[in-house]
Structure 1
Amino acid sequence: MSRTKSVSTKPLILSVAISSILAGQAFAQEEAAEEASQGGFEQIIITAQKRSESLQETPLAVSAFTGDELREDGVASVEDIGSRTPGLVFAAFSVGQPEIAIRGIGTKEDGAAASDSTVISVDDVYIAARTAQVFDIFDLERVEVLRGPQGTLYGKNSIGGSINFITSKPTEDVTARGRLTVGEYGRFDLGGMISGGLSENLLGKFSFSNRNYDGHITNIHTGETHDDRETMAWRGQLHYFMTDDLSFVLTVDGADDDIGDTYRVPVGSAGDSVDNNANNPLAVDAAFGSAGNPYLAANDEIGATDRTVEGYALKVNWETEDFTFASITSYRESDFLWWEDSEGLPGLSSFNPAVDPQFGFRRDVTDTAVERTVQFTQELRLVSPGGEKFDWVVGLFYSKEKIDRTESFCIPNCGFNVIPQEQIDYAPGATRIPSNFIISKSIQANDSISWAAYGQGTYKINDDLKLTAGLRYSYEEKDVEFGGDIDDGVVAAGVFIQENFWVTDSDDWGNVSGRVVLDWQAMDDVMIYGSISNGFKSGGYIGSPSTPERAVQSYDEETAINYEIGFKSFLFDSTVKLNTALFYTDYSDLQVTRFAQLADNPTNPFGEFITENAASADIQGLEVEFAWMATDNLEFGGSYAYLDATYKDFTPNVANLAPGGGTLPCAEGDNAVSTNPADGCIPDFSGKTLRQAPENMLHVYARYFHDMGDAGSLKAKVSYRFQDDSFYDPDNNDITVIPDYTLWDAQLSWSDTDDNWLITAWVKNLTDEEYRTHVYSQRNSQIAFANFGAPRTYGVTIEYTF
């Protein structure tokens, strides 16, 4: 399955040619059409460029989803957004470590001093903490996904793109909505919203979402499901109009998540982990009876996640004849506790690697993380009225973040929720190694300050041609403290963390990013644009450094320049919507994270994480979004993404440990540092595919509407999703891959004539596809473990609105 791709422009050229031909045919047919319009798609108004404007007239690659669409499809997470957005791939090592990649640009590093590749914001408030970025999606007006570098208006860490959640606002008239969902595996969700005027100048709204799920993965030792979920999220808003031109919006929100085990399933072994013994995770999995079934788990320590989030935001909006002034002030804090058996197997009962696999997994380890994050942001913005000869936006941004994180690696487990040995079918005479036999703790603290100044202007050359240009200066400083602690276990041994230490360091990064766009309104409903834009992601520090020397080695920022041509259109009396984007991205100084045994740290038996600036990459692709209203009752739509994302030059700075513990010659394709194998091997990843970069992604749907008169109406919808295989290690090895998969969803809903009641029966993963959602490796990619998506589930959702 592993392969090396060569960069080819043929698929892109062919796709552009086909799009051009179709567009030309559409223009001719539209001009020739004489029949009456059968209705069409409405414009979606977005604020991606910090002003209200039509999606179809915004010269950006943007996917926008309205609140009605999200509720119709039961969208509840960023993962659900990813399945509908071309080029967006969502994965997660844990609930608190989302890995979001847009066009192959993403982040694996999870340390306190790491930066993300995609900006996530709610109502213009940037969410800094990765442990708080994946939250319940509810009560939204829309979601906007900006694809590609957004350095001008969004700044640092938007090198991949930006995901903006816009919540619904308080209304003058009293409105309310309630939602109840019941489904398989004990699913029981409640949600609601009430909004209305509280006085002549004051509007208010309160909304909440409570979701419960008993789980679908059975622990083979206890016979119980432990992947249960109970989440509660809420939001309150007050909108006060001091005058007709001056208003204040106060938002308070919170969340409390109690999430069970996320489980791991062994999926690969190589090297010294292929024999039928305790070194081989696949053999251990089979010995305890869970092999081949991703919904059976053999781990002996049951993991969990406990997370609380609260936030406060005040937005001031002052409108004048010459400009609109906006001030957005926010404060957020979050607490995160998580632990997980990293291999999903019972802990070892012997250090002898040759013993029977039913003695347990010799390399078993539990990973835990405790993190507290506090964030303050302030943005000031001036926006011109719009529709003038020259439109502009200028702003200042400031943020202060404090993250304290402790990550522990316990061998064989941490003792939080361990299944008693007598409940596990170990080999006769086995005596399990005690909890916390070896503990390695990585203590991390990061205080960062960043600020930016930006401006963007659009000059209308004529009625059909506009030129947009913008610049942003960004600065960030990180003050870090790192500690290593190996003294708390039964045995003080250096595994992962090699010694006790405490060090401090600081570094800073500055960047000027910009954007130039020329857009042409070729026809009333057809716009073509070309743009050059760049973005950057701040530098940082390795999350769990093994030594004090490694801890103070910061890595540099990464940058990307994106060249893009786009086409947006409404055709055939607005019954067809076709948007395309063709792009090439020159990606430099990639921050690549890998887990390996390193030559300069040969006594570390498990390996360690390291993040380096060791690569450049070429990324090119095509994205298409389409919708067709075939009749008044029948609609088709979806999206397609083609992506070719490869390392142009990637030979790491730090050598891997040579095979045989540093005694054997380097593997084929690796370069020996010297004639002495102990000096290690430098792998060459040039030409390999970037992680989370599937070559093809396709999402299509069909929706049918049937009016039954006084009996109400029926709506049926079927959707299909395909994702190509994608790699999760830079060497593109066969065991750390998510194979291609397809998913089908279906639903049937009824609504009354007044649209007060909506009852929907739904099925997710209709064909019961077994598919991976994340995979990671250990020991130089010799063993791999994966998470899997949910099996087929079904249920009913009832909504009442008045």
Structure 2
Amino acid sequence: MTANKREQRLNDVGITAAVLGGDALKQQQISSLAEIATRVPSLSYASAPNGTPVYTLRGVGFYETSIGAYPSVSIYLDEVPLSFPVLTNHSTFDLERVEILKGPQGTLFGQNSTGGAINYIVAKPTEVFTAGAQATYGRFNQLDLEGFVSGPLSDTLLARFSGRMETADGWQVSDSRHRDRNGRVRNYMGRLQLGYDAGSGLRLLFNANGWKDKSQTQAAQFIALQFQNENLSDPPGQYRNAAVASTPFSALNPRSGDWTSRSVYYDHRIPFADNRLYQLSLRGDLDIGDFGTVTSITAYTDYKMRQGNDTDGLALRSFDAALTVGRIKSFNQELRFANDPGQPVRFVVGGNFSKDSVDQNVFFDYPDSSARIAFDALFGAPIDVLNVRNNQDMRNIAGFSNIEADVAGNLTLKAGVRYTNSRNKAAICQGDPLPPYIYGNLIIAFSEAFGGPGRGTYTPDECASLNLNPATFAPVVNYAPFAALAEYRHILKEDNISWRLGADYKLGGGALVYLNVSKGYKAGSFPTISGSNLAQYNPARQEAVMAYEGGVKTSLLNRRLQANVAAFYYDYSQKQLRTKLNDPIFGQLDVLQNIPKSSVKGAEAELTIRLSPDLTATAAYTYLDATIDRYVGVNAGGDVGIDFSGTEIPYTPKHQASLGMNYERQLGDAITLFAGANVNMRSSTISTPGGRINPSTINDSVTSCVYCIRGYTLVDGQIGIRSTDRRWQAFLWGKNIFNSYYWSNVVSGYDIVTRYAGRPATYGMTFVHHF
């Protein structure tokens, strides 16, 4: 693994980590980080309403649907950062392995790795010609094709080209149109690598990779009707849309869901995607005699998004993110020097520069919501559309150093430090995108009612949020009059010092005992949300994690048993979390805030045992006690001033475990039989602070805990044959074999509460051939 920016044996690295090999990824049909999360206890995945993936590692994560939000678990492709979670899609192909580093990794991997870092290690160009192809056919007419060609182009130049295509029919069944399907897959990925070795200590590796996603985005499941805008209705629900209220709730099975067949923004069904990414990177390594190596990594990433998400799980339009248009341009440069790794004192010193430009424009569509009916009845303003655009320019400069020193025989002392200076310039505007601009003119009326400047009618492209803070009744920005309509503009400047101290001690028999103390930071963030006032766009400030960890790695029973155990405690300050507020105009809305103090206590254990020459078993378990220690806010029921002390942090199951079995048996001289099974378990958690307190909802089947994410167990398996020389293999596979109904997220929008269900049982056959 490469946790210290150089290759080492996993047992020699004094941190907790998990490594999944490329062959295991292929055999288990793992093609996304969401599926990797099911194999690694302590790593959790949640689906956001706009499709942005959210990863939480050991209770440290950042749930935010904006494409321009830095994560708490950073993702790398051969040490090249995929700076935002939305960029990590479709990278899990032609890999040598995946490394999951747990705990703050800020000294070597930068801020935004407070939870940990995940590094995709790509299969590299080979010195001899080799090629391979695989084909998969499965349920829902799934057809996946993948292949690679690798070898020398000259004495000094190597090349590798790999590609993958994924197609499938829709797996979701419409609740209202039983022949309509959603979830069609159309993904195309490719990667070209060129490796150059001049023979004089200079090595270059060029990587051009990209993908195209034209799939249909997942639709939500409608599970509860929520009394929204209760401050505007007496009795509650008097403005409810009768069509929404009479719509049956989604069936409690994986395939159930619903979606809107047409949007007001385009003549197209809402669940769709037309997204693409390309990335160029160049790594150069120059050996300075026997002293060390200078490494330069330069990368540019360009991402375009155009997609629609049905977020209400209805054929109606109660609240849909009907169209999201986005663009990310990211440039990264790292330069470092590392001395000879064979020396008793090993060090690396370097610096990073990154510049990210993120533009996002989300169009919301809600003509069937209670908001439209209420505002029509109360103000003669039947509002049903709006859009929010968020433009950000980020710049980060960092310098880092790390040192390891072998002292006193088997004792190694470690220290690392990184200084980061960051700047984020944001401009956020909520507007009315369609005539007759009912929403825009209503906000003008509110502006005048609150004492804002008098003015005429709303003009196209004008920002329609009020410059006032409802909590203090004071202006939010000083460049616009009080209660005026204005764009939110702000520059967030922050700096921090991440550090790590540790010690590794090797016992007899090769056992490693390690202790680490570290501090990491995640940069502040601006939300992309619907806000009637500018206070809702104030950023969450940078968060920090102070981590204490100790563990043991050991091989026993003549290396038949590998055992790893670790315990840790995190002092978590200013955690960034999407929570709720009661807006004076629209009722309960989202807001991005800092939780002053939280903590995470936990322990992990991993066992790998060779039960016989043919049979290997693995087991892993993670226990987490992740709690909010100090925070007062709004709970899921809309109650204000709630003290959340002692309540759980969202998306942090207390118990997570996995079991695996792999069997191989020689059948004659040419054929090997192999089989494998994986059982993965998660206990329950919640999706919002105070999520075990129910809001006022209607649906008897879920009233026990509307915002709970129920615990679940998934069982996968494979069985097949391969040639003894591994030139070909054919196997049957199944995922979620027992068709467990589970979900990764629960969200609300105006009137409704929805779930995002996991995939149903899938199964198929794969054939692999190497030339």
TM-score, normalised relative to structure 2: 0.86
Aligned AA for 1:470?
Answer: G
Of 791, 794, 797, which aligns to 2:760? 791
8 Å CA contact 2:244, 2:316 repeated in 1: no
Query: Do structure 1's residue 619 and structure 2's residue 600 form an aligned pair?
Result: yes
CA 1:657–1:119 in structure 2 vs 1: closer, same or farther (change >3 Å)? closer
Structure 1 unaligned runs (5+)? 1-45, 349-362, 415-435, 660-666, 668-680
Query: Do structure 1's residue 603 and structure 2's residue 562 form an aligned pair?
Result: no
**2:373 counterpart residue number:** none
CA 1:277–1:222 in structure 2 vs 1: closer, same or farther (change >3 Å)? farther
Query: Do structure 1's residue 340 and structure 2's residue 309 form an aligned pair?
Result: yes
**1:431 counterpart residue number:** none
**2:385 counterpart residue number:** 439
Inter-partner Cα distance in structure 2 for 1:380 and 1:565? 31
Query: Do structure 1's residue 703 and structure 2's residue 674 form an aligned pair?
Result: no
Deviation per residue, 1:151-207 (Å, 9 max, x gap): 111121001110100101100100111010001101001000110000010000000
**1:256 counterpart residue number:** 212
**1:209 counterpart residue number:** 164
**How far apart are residue 595 of structure 1 and its match?**
3.8
**2:257 counterpart residue number:** 297
SS of corresponding position for 1:70: helix
**How far apart are residue 381 of structure 1 and its match?**
1.1
Deviates more, 1:684-693 or 1:552-561: 552-561
**How far apart are residue 485 of structure 1 and its match?**
0.6
Deviates more, 1:689-698 or 1:568-577: 568-577
**How far apart are residue 755 of structure 1 and its match?**
1.3
**2:280 counterpart residue number:** 312
Of 310, 315, 326, which aligns to 1:371? 326
CA 1:266–1:452 in structure 2 vs 1: closer, same or farther (change >3 Å)? same
**1:121 counterpart residue number:** 76
Query: Do structure 1's residue 693 and structure 2's residue 652 form an aligned pair?
Result: yes
8 Å CA contact 1:695, 1:725 repeated in 2: yes
Give 1:618-657 correspondences, 5 Å limit.
Answer: 618-652=599-633
**How far apart are residue 79 of structure 1 and its match?**
1.0
Query: Do structure 1's residue 518 and structure 2's residue 489 form an aligned pair?
Result: no
8 Å CA contact 2:716, 2:736 repeated in 1: yes
**How far apart are residue 72 of structure 1 and its match?**
1.8
Aligned AA for 1:774?
Answer: N
Inter-partner Cα distance in structure 1 for 2:740 and 2:527? 36
**2:696 counterpart residue number:** none
Inter-partner Cα distance in structure 2 for 1:581 and 1:615? 27
Query: Do structure 1's residue 546 and structure 2's residue 531 form an aligned pair?
Result: yes
**1:25 counterpart residue number:** none
SS of corresponding position for 1:614: strand
RMSD between aligned residues: 2.5
Deviation per residue, 1:265-295 (Å, 9 max, x gap): 1223455799998988999587458534442
CA 1:490–1:345 in structure 2 vs 1: closer, same or farther (change >3 Å)? farther
8 Å CA contact 1:113, 1:480 repeated in 2: no
Structure 2 unaligned runs (5+)? 262-268, 370-381, 444-463, 467-484, 693-704
**How far apart are residue 135 of structure 1 and its match?**
2.1
CA 1:234–1:478 in structure 2 vs 1: closer, same or farther (change >3 Å)? same
CA 1:214–1:686 in structure 2 vs 1: closer, same or farther (change >3 Å)? same
**1:530 counterpart residue number:** 515
**1:417 counterpart residue number:** none
**How far apart are residue 657 of structure 1 and its match?**
12
**How far apart are residue 319 of structure 1 and its match?**
1.6
**Percent of counterpart pairs with the same letter?**
27
**How far apart are residue 134 of structure 1 and its match?**
2.3
Inter-partner Cα distance in structure 2 for 1:593 and 1:394? 36
**How far apart are residue 484 of structure 1 and its match?**
1.7
Aligned AA for 1:641?
Answer: T
Aligned length: 694
**2:688 counterpart residue number:** 729
**2:266 counterpart residue number:** none
Of 8, 14, 18, which aligns to 1:63? 18
Give 1:650-689 correspondences, 5 Å limit.
Answer: 650-652=631-633, 667=639, 681-689=640-648
Inter-partner Cα distance in structure 2 for 1:785 and 1:193? 41
8 Å CA contact 2:253, 2:741 repeated in 1: no
CA 1:289–1:470 in structure 2 vs 1: closer, same or farther (change >3 Å)? closer
Inter-partner Cα distance in structure 2 for 1:708 and 1:286? 61
SS of corresponding position for 2:534: helix
**1:351 counterpart residue number:** none
**How far apart are residue 451 of structure 1 and its match?**
1.0
Inter-partner Cα distance in structure 1 for 2:709 and 2:243? 21
Inter-partner Cα distance in structure 2 for 1:760 and 1:135? 23
Of 749, 752, 776, which aligns to 2:723? 752
Deviates more, 1:228-237 or 1:268-277: 268-277
CA 1:625–1:517 in structure 2 vs 1: closer, same or farther (change >3 Å)? same
Give 1:47-446 correspondences, 5 Å limit.
Answer: 47-94=2-49, 96-111=51-66, 114-219=69-174, 220-221=176-177, 223-269=179-225, 271=227, 287-288=247-248, 290-301=250-261, 302=269, 303-320=271-288, 321-347=290-316, 363-412=318-367, 438-446=384-392
Give 1:490-529 correspondences, 5 Å limit.
Answer: 490=436, 492-493=438-439, 498=465, 501-529=486-514
Aligned AA for 1:468?
Answer: K
**How far apart are residue 757 of structure 1 and its match?**
0.9
CA 1:762–1:490 in structure 2 vs 1: closer, same or farther (change >3 Å)? farther
SS of corresponding position for 1:152: helix
SS of corresponding position for 2:669: helix
Inter-partner Cα distance in structure 2 for 1:529 and 1:210? 43
**1:22 counterpart residue number:** none
Aligned AA for 2:748?
Answer: S
8 Å CA contact 1:528, 1:567 repeated in 2: yes
**How far apart are residue 437 of structure 1 and its match?**
6.2
Inter-partner Cα distance in structure 2 for 1:134 and 1:491? 37
8 Å CA contact 2:536, 2:591 repeated in 1: no
Inter-partner Cα distance in structure 2 for 1:282 and 1:378? 56
Inter-partner Cα distance in structure 2 for 1:194 and 1:535? 41
Inter-partner Cα distance in structure 1 for 2:254 and 2:75? 31
**How far apart are residue 233 of structure 1 and its match?**
0.6
Inter-partner Cα distance in structure 1 for 2:619 and 2:241? 40
8 Å CA contact 2:134, 2:146 repeated in 1: yes
8 Å CA contact 1:276, 1:283 repeated in 2: no
**How far apart are residue 764 of structure 1 and its match?**
1.1
**How far apart are residue 501 of structure 1 and its match?**
3.0
CA 1:550–1:272 in structure 2 vs 1: closer, same or farther (change >3 Å)? closer
**How far apart are residue 244 of structure 1 and its match?**
4.1
Aligned AA for 2:309?
Answer: E
**1:474 counterpart residue number:** 420
**How far apart are residue 626 of structure 1 and its match?**
1.5
SS of corresponding position for 2:70: coil
**1:575 counterpart residue number:** 560
Aligned AA for 1:246?
Answer: L
